């Protein structure tokens, strides 16, 4: 299940847009499908706000069995999804958090983009 929320904020005197995702991977879910839904939403958000895009945060609620594949998908998205490459360069960083299904464990990663 993919949930997304947007926000407006000001940085360096500019009005910017941010988007945050909570992607829950439940037993039986297809990881590729859920990730693909998030990517589709990123494309729509980017086409709507283009130069005003200022922040993306992603939270994955999942078990440890999916963390490695999701990390690979995120790195591939940032590095190889050519139409979104200008967005990631503009952002400079993407914040990703993995949260255990019980909410007790949390791992945070910051992907610097250059």
* Per-residue pLDDT, 28: 87
Residue in the structure block whose two tokens are 């400079």 = 92
Q: How far is CA 92 from each of CA 15, 29, 62, 110, rounded to the nearest angstrom?
A: 17, 31, 26, 10
Q: What are the backbone dihedrals phi and psi of residue 2, each rounded to the nearest 5 degrees, phi first?
A: -115, 125
Sequence-separated (6 or more) residues with CB below 8 Å from residue 7: 17, 18, 19, 20
Q: Provide block-wise average pLDDT over 10 residues at a time, the chain (114 residues).
A: 94 93 91 93 96 96 91 94 95 95 90 90
Strand 106-112 versus strand 93-99 pairing type: antiparallel
* Per-residue pLDDT, 114: 85
Neighbours of 58 (CB within 10 A): 23
* Per-residue pLDDT, 58: 97
* Per-residue pLDDT, 27: 84
* Per-residue pLDDT, 46: 97
| Domain edges within the chain | 2-104
């Amino acid at each position: 299940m993919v949930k997304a929320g947007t926000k407006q904020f000001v940085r360096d005197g500019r009005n910017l847009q941010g988007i945050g995702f909570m992607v829950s991977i439940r037993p039986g879910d297809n990881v590729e499908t859920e990730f693909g839904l998030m990517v589709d939403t990123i494309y729509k958000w980017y086409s709507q706000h283009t130069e005003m895009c200022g922040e993306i945060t992603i939270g994955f609620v999942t078990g440890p069995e999916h963390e490695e594949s999701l990390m690979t998908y995120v790195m591939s998205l940032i590095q190889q999804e050519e139409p979104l490459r200008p967005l990631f360069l503009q952002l400079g960083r993407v914040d990703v958090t993995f949260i255990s299904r019980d909410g007790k464990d949390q791992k945070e990663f910051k992907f610097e983009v250059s």
